[in-house]
Every structure is written in structure tokens, then in C-alpha cells.
Amino acid sequence: MEEIIFVDKPSGMTSFGAVARVRRILSEREGHKVKVGHTGTLDPFATGLLILLAGKATKKAPELTKLDKVYEATIRLGEVSTTGDPEGEITVSGTAPARAEIDAIIPQFLGKIQQTPPAFSAIKVNGQRAYKLARAGKEVEIPSRTVEIYSLDILSYEAPELKIRTHVSSGTYIRTLAEDIGKVLGCGAYCSALRRTQIADYEIDELPLFNLPE
């Protein structure tokens, strides 16, 4: 078999959990164990488009993993999280700024920028997942990388919540983008909600989605 599967991942489910559910369903349907892989994970708190590959289609993973992505995110200004998202320990760090201050700093995040992925991520460090090391209280050093932000539009701002839509290159972390915006504004920030709506030309609202059971 060879299938490309589109999933709308719910919040609270890991990407690997989604893969496991799809593998179970396809294996039961085919009568034998079916190989299923992903083309880029989503954080557990995030929702949206996951592209999974089954059977011989798993060979396409390297090319699909490199595709650009579009996200809609809510950034909470004036607070920081130990993980950069709602799952960490959250503390107040400042006062949410005026809209004009936000508009003024957005341009510096467009184009090619340097970004340091979060310690709580699936990136491997010395053969281990960074988030596992971070949860164990170990210091995690991840080198910065060049990513590209093609567009970053403000959808709304009702302090302290800033809602954005951004089109980015593969490898861009929206949690880190949120934190960096907070640092530049001097108030701190974290990503409180995140949804991936598009991967290259694959738009979630126009795709036949796989029915993903709980």
C-alpha cells in the first residue's frame, strides 16, 4: 500500500500518538502491520495539519518534511513559560505593550533570521530527545539555526493576547518566535495556542481528513 494521510491533530495528543492510532487502524484494515511515519511533528498543545505516510509512501518523508508551513498562533504578552507554551510553569514578567509598539518591531522578524530551538523540543542532542533531557533537569544546548519568516500578519490584539498568522520555512519554532517577540518588546511572552493550517499547498480546510479516534 502507499498512502498520504492528512490528520487534524487535536490538542493534548502527541504527534507520535496520532501516528500510533493511524497505524493501528490501517493495520487492522490491511490484516498486517502497516508502516506509518510523519513528515514533521506538532507540539502536544498545538492543533492542525499533520501529514502522515503509510507503506511505500514513507519514502517521501524527506521531501515532505522540508516544506514551508503556515500557522495561526496566540501569543500571550507579559508572561513567560518555562517551556514556551501553556504546559510549562508560567510567571508574570511585564506589562503588555501598546499595539503601536508591536507594529514597530514586527519587521525585524521577517526574512532570514537566527533562531535557537527550545530545550523542550524533539530535536536530538547527543542521541537523545532534547525534551527528555530538559525534563530530567539537565542543561540542554542547541545551536541556533537560520530560518525564514515569509510573512507575519497580526490578526488581532486585545492585550495581553496577540493573534498572528505566519508563513515560515521548515524548522521554524513558533514557540521560539513568540518568546523572541516578547524579549524584543521587553515584556516577555509565550505561545498560548497554536494551529498549523497549511503545509506547502496542502490547506487543512480543503483536504480529505482521516478520521482520528481518541
Annotated domain spans of the chain:
2-65+202-206, 69-199
Rounded alpha-carbon distances, angstroms, from residue 189 to 36, 192, 212: 36, 9, 32
Instruction: State the number of CA atoms in the 13 A half-sphere of 178 facing the CB.
Output: 32
Mean local confidence (pLDDT), 114-141: 64
Strand 202-203 and strand 47-55: the pairing is unpaired
For 4-37, write each residue's pLDDT tens digit.
999 999 999 999 999 999 999 999 999 999 999 9
- Closest residue by Cα to residue 174 from 27, 75, 26, 48: 75
| Band (211; pLDDT cuts 50, 70, 90) | confident
Contact 190, 76 (CB under 8 A): yes
Give rounded-to-5 percent helix, strand, coil for the chain.
Answer: 25, 35, 35
- CATH 3.40.50.10480 describes domain 69-199: no
| Band (131; pLDDT cuts 50, 70, 90) | low
89-104 CB burial, b ≥16 within 10 A, e <16: ebeebbebbeeeebee
Partners of residue 52 on adjacent β-strands:
5, 38
Mean local confidence (pLDDT), 133-162: 84
Residue 43 annotated among the catalytic residues of the structure: yes
User: From the candidates 8, 43, 85, 180, which is the catalytic residue?
Assistant: 43
How far, in whole angstroms, is CA 104 from its chain's centroid? 25
| Band (120; pLDDT cuts 50, 70, 90) | low
